[in-house]
Amino acid sequence: MSAPIDPAKLEKLAEVAIKIGLQLQKGQDLVITSPVAALPLVRLLTKHAYVAGAGLVTTFYSDEESTLARYRHGSDESFDRAAGWLYEGMAKAYAQGAARLAIAGDNPMLLASEDPAKVSRANRANSAAYKPALEKISNFDINWNIISYPNPSWAKLVFPDMPEDEAVAKLADAIFAASRVDVADPVEAWRQHNANLARRSLWLNERRFSALHFTGPGTDLTVGLADGHEWHGGAAMANNGVVCNPNIPTEEVFTTPHALKVEGHVSSTKPLSHQGSLIDGIRVRFEGGRIIEAHAARGEAVLNKVLDTDEGARRLGEVALVPHSSPISASGVLFYNTLFDENASCHIALGQCYSKCFVNGASLSPEEIKAQGGNSSLIHIDWMIGSGETDIDGLDAAGNRVPVMRKGEWA
């Protein structure tokens, strides 16, 4: 069998992840999580990590067949449990200074035919157990990065009409293009891209909008912004002082909405793949920041279970702007993977906010963040609401309107 994935580009992805994504520091430990299929990428990452002076590199692997075995043969009680000891260990590693690298690539539809009640119980148990480790990441205490690998099962979902080899090669190329590693000097390309995103964030921060008004087919939504919110995009400094690029790819500038000040209705513009299920054609209505009505053409039961996770699951924790002409959107590929699809479109996220999206966010207590309108929840789920027909106005405190986007592009 010929190797369908270009080894030179895979090596560049590994190099960009370590140098730009993580800016891994000399002597810093690294925790990697990866599907077993991505072993070739893990080996390259491990090499580049040690070349960069890593302390210890430790990888935890997951496997689709083993996950399915649990759903098919695991005892009913086991679905309320999670490997808390593992997450406690990860939280400890991060507290002691380790960086974190996640490789995404599992089949997003893996659990689509499993019992939704079990899926939701397992997700809930996992979210609760993962919280101490996840907080180090959502609080941006450490440098972290997520990249992707074209698992064959994912590739077959994205390109169902192709033989597996061709589908993997095509998804690999799409990942390399979106991750900006298919150019001569990817590290320099990322420097320029980061400078562009920083310019957009600066413009939005200078405007000090109090709300954004989204209009488009099936959408008339006013998203109030949190008091003292701050826009971010591209590279950013973690609380440990390391400037990193958490998401590769990334095209978004994003901030924190006000948990109590979202009004109107909004429709999704792309399917949302959520932990093995597909939710499509979402239509929700907000009142006082809370979703009071939720429908989906597909996956409505999963959506409603997600919304019932906790009180904060019905409120927004993120609003993000992405031009419709972004390379991922222009590729026309639906990845069924939030890391890519959220970067093809303006989006909002249900659940937990990012404390870094506040002025002096790192020094604010959870109570202060809440008082400024920041939401808290066990979940953070992005879904896409932008298209080539989306218009966005910024509203300032005096009620003046400033065009921000027209027909999906920066105004």
391 residue type, one letter: D
Which residues within the stretch 139-168 sit at the binding site for Zn ion (CB under 5 A)? none
Output the smallest distance, CB 310 to Zn ion, in A. Answer: 17
Phi-psi domain of 394 (left: phi exceeds 0; alpha: psi -120 through 50; beta: other): beta
Q: How many CB atoms lie within 10 A of CB 159?
A: 18
Nearest to 209 by CA among 402, 408, 410, 405: 402
257 residue type, one letter: P
**In this complex, which beta carbon is closest to Zn ion, that of residue 4 or of residue 257?**
257
Q: Which two tokens stand for residue 399?
A: 């009620």
Output the smallest distance, CB 89 to Zn ion, in A. Answer: 26
**In this complex, which beta carbon is closest to Zn ion, that of residue 54 or of residue 279?**
279
Which residues within the stretch 38-57 sit at the binding site for Zn ion (CB under 5 A)? none
Distance CA 334, CA 347 (A): 15
Output the smallest distance, CB 185 to Zn ion, in A. Answer: 27
The answer to the question of residue 384 lying near Zn ion (CB under 5 A) is no
Given 37, 320, 339, 379, the residue binding Zn ion (CB under 5 A): 320
**In this complex, which beta carbon is closest to Zn ion, that of residue 15 or of residue 318?**
318
Rounded (5°) CA angle 256-261-138:
25
353: Cβ–Cβ under 8 A, 6 or more apart, which residues? 226, 256, 257, 259, 317, 318, 369, 374, 375, 376
Output the smallest distance, CB 386 to Zn ion, in A. Answer: 11
Output the smallest distance, CB 346 to Zn ion, in A. Answer: 9
* Binding piece for Zn ion, criterion CB under 5 A, among 15-23, 134-142, 148-156, 312-320: 312-320
**In this complex, which beta carbon is closest to Zn ion, that of residue 28 or of residue 338?**
338
Output the smallest distance, CB 303 to Zn ion, in A. Answer: 17
* Binding piece for Zn ion, criterion CB under 5 A, among 58-66, 89-97, 234-242, 381-389: 381-389
**In this complex, which beta carbon is closest to Zn ion, that of residue 173 or of residue 318?**
318
Which residues within the stretch 230-289 sit at the binding site for Zn ion (CB under 5 A)? 252, 254
* Binding piece for Zn ion, criterion CB under 5 A, among 19-27, 28-36, 174-182, 319-327: 319-327
- Distances in whole angstroms, Cα of residue 376 to Cα of each of 53, 85, 173: 37, 24, 37
CA-CA-CA-CA torsion sign (395, 369, 84, 121): negative
Decide: helix, strand or coil at residue 316. strand
CA dihedral 111, 250, 361, 397 (to 10 degrees): -110
**In this complex, which beta carbon is closest to Zn ion, that of residue 64 or of residue 342?**
342
Given 145, 382, 390, 405, the residue binding Zn ion (CB under 5 A): 382
- Distances in whole angstroms, Cα of residue 362 to Cα of each of 134, 319, 356: 16, 19, 6
The answer to the question of residue 318 lying near Zn ion (CB under 5 A) is yes
Buried (b) or exposed (e) across 49-74, using 16+ Cβ within 10 A?
beebebbebebeeeebeebeeebeee
Distance CA 12, CA 189 (A): 12
Contact string 325-364 vs Zn ion (x = CB under 5 A): ------------------------x---------------
Output the smallest distance, CB 352 to Zn ion, in A. Answer: 9
Q: Site for Zn ion (CB under 5 A): how many residues?
A: 6
Output the smallest distance, CB 60 to Zn ion, in A. Answer: 23
**In this complex, which beta carbon is closest to Zn ion, that of residue 151 or of residue 250?**
250
Output the smallest distance, CB 168 to Zn ion, in A. Answer: 27
**In this complex, which beta carbon is closest to Zn ion, that of residue 228 or of residue 249?**
249
**In this complex, which beta carbon is closest to Zn ion, that of residue 169 or of residue 235?**
235
**In this complex, which beta carbon is closest to Zn ion, that of residue 343 or of residue 372?**
343
Distance CA 341, CA 122 (A): 25
Q: How many CA atoms lie within 13 A of 320 on its CB side?
A: 31
Distance CA 68, CA 66 (A): 5
Footprint of Zn ion on this chain (CB under 5 A)?
A: 252, 254, 318, 320, 349, 382
